[in-house]
Structure 1
Amino acid sequence: TEEQLYQLKGRLCGESIFKTGKAMADPSKMIINLALFGTTQSGKSSAGNILLGSADFLSSFAPCSVTQDCSLGCSCHLRSFMRRRGQEVTLQVRVLDTPGYPHSRLSKKNVKQEVRDALARHFGQEGLHLALLVQRADVPFCGQDATYPVQMIQELLGHAWKNYTAILFTHAEKIEEAGFNEDTYLHEAPDTLLTLLNSIQHKYVFQYKKGKSLSEQRMKILERIMEFIKENCYQVLTFK
């Protein structure tokens, strides 16, 4: 059964994992917990607002880091978003926005401790379904700055990080403006990005702004994210 498969996969991962309490209590409702990671001005807060369908997070262009503290946002209920076991499921999304690094005001140690505390505070019991590495599609993924958020994910999520990480490419409309499509873009990507994609089993999604309504962007991204979560048998990663 799905439950037996879930328990078996949990033992194989060697992590303390379980379904969210609310999902178990009411199979017609599901809460997914997401955390955003990325460099400064990668578009984390903007992506978080799209995922929530609101404007919970301050998002603006600035010559310095905008996000100083971790912040949790909760969406309204998306009714009949999906079907599971023959039943329509109402979805709620919870997103943790985090400070980027390198940060214009905070040290790497401070950023990591802030995120560590927030993960334990918000997802310590209910668990994290997915960490989203937010990466600008129009900025090459190379150099030490690009790999800092990946290192942080590895340190905070532990050895199971590969199963709970996906990449969200922001500013994907720049790909089309440059005459690429998603496949050719990834084909031309640097080895550092290709290696990361291989490590996380090619879990990625592109976020377009131009030519698409916020609702269309949101639904497409959430549908893709739910595919990743389903591949994990709806498991979560908990933080002690």
Structure 2
Amino acid sequence: MAQPADQLETQDQGVKIVMIGRTKAGKSATGNILLGRIVFKSVISTSSVTQECQIGRGTPEEQSLTVIDTPGLFGGTTSDSSDPPEKVMEAIKECMQLAPPGPVVYLVVLQLGTLTEREQQTVKIIQRSFGREAAHYTVALFTRGDDLRNAGDTIEEYIGANPDTRDFIRECLGGYQVFDNEDVNSPQVTELLRKITAIVQRNGGGRAEIHQEGEGVLHQENLRGKENETGKDLMLACLDGASGGVFLITCGALYFGDLKPKDLLEIAVFTGMIGAVGGAARFTVGRLIWRR
């Protein structure tokens, strides 16, 4: 069950940012920086602070923004208990329905460091819940950018030295961003908002809204099912026509003439091909008539 983190104005439309990631990745702190004020509870803890989805609204740089903070998709440690990812995603979908309408962008919040095997599955989990196209609206957001700055490294150097991270970013078709959660006044918010705006515009604007219902996955599964069913029917029609043609020509050849086995085989193969084409034609005409 979602709870509003502040007073919502549902008449406005703007971009929805859904923050997804494991426990203690820094989702709440990132949401507060984006909105420019403390909206979500963010404290140093040994377990997840956010136990349910929360919705915050704001207009940073005069851009209408809805930020959805979510429970940890995975536990922060092996001893940390958490709900299964599928249950968390269902809660996120319910929360998104309570938010004002608008295009959706998914921020996968990650801490700089070792990318766990479970975290590497995050984009696939998002796609299973919201459709394959959701990957185009997914951004990898690395927190603790101050660690990079203190070490004198860049995010590009970090990615280049970590093959698992590099492979994960390839799945996030919205790109990546690094965030310093201690620097609330830097241009990083402006840069991230520009990236989000570009993602929405590049991928069709408000059409991203379809993700919140998960209609993309259902539609694709239905299409695949129909295509598979049609393919099977067509194959059966071709086999039926081929077997019928071979049977008739074989019976006729045996009755009316004395043919060698080689000649009989060639006639059967040729007739089978003609029968298969005829079966496919009947199937196609039948479907056209049925659709009318």
Instruction: Give the TM interval when normalised to the shorter protein.
Output: 0.7 to 0.9
1:131 aligned residue: 106
1:40 equivalenced with 2:23 (yes/no):
yes
Task: Provide closer, same or farther for how the CA distance between residues 78 and 162 of structure 1 changes in structure 2, counting only shifts above 3 A.
Answer: same
Q: CA RMSD in A?
A: 2.4
> 1:200-221 deviations in whole A, cap 9, x for unaligned?
33611111245x4435332232
> Would you say 1:221 and 2:215 are equivalent positions?
no
Give ranges in structure 2 of 5+ residues lacking alignment: 1-10, 214-292
Q: Sort the Cα spacing of 1:113 and 1:213 in 2 relative to 1 into closer, same or farther, 3 A.
A: closer
Q: Distance in 1 between matches of 2:60 and 2:111?
A: 29
Question: Unpaired runs of 5+ in structure 1?
Answer: 1-20, 24-30, 80-90
Instruction: Compare the two structures and name the one with the higher strand fraction.
Output: 1
The CA deviation string for residues 134-173 of structure 1, in whole angstroms up to 9 with x for no partner, is: 0112x211322x2353343122211112111111111112
Are 1:160 and 2:96 counterparts? no
What is the TM-score when the length of structure 1 is the normalising length? 0.72
Higher relative contact order (CA 8 A, sep 6+): 1
Paired residue for 1:122, among 91, 95, 99? 99
| Maintained 8 Å contact 2:144/2:179 | yes
Q: Distance in 1 between matches of 2:93 and 2:174?
A: 26
Over 3 Å counting, the alpha-carbon distance change for 1:56 and 1:172 in structure 2 is same
Structure with max Cα Rg? 2
Aligned residue pair count: 197
Residues 24 and 48, structure 2, Cα contact 8 Å, conserved in 1: yes
Once the 2 structures are TM-superposed, how far is the Cα of residue 33 of structure 1 from its aligned partner? Answer: 1.0
Contact 2:123 2:172 in 1 (8 A): no
TM-score scaled to structure 2, two decimals? 0.61
Could you list the runs of 4 or more consecutive aligned residues of structure 1 that deviate by over 4 angstroms after TM superposition? none
Judge conservation of contact 1:50–1:217 (CA < 8 Å) in 2: no
Would you say the 8 A contact 2:123–2:135 is kept in 1? Answer: no
Name the structure where helix makes up a greater proportion of residues: 2
Change (3 A) 1:154 1:182: same
Contact 2:18–2:105 under 8 Å retained in 1: yes
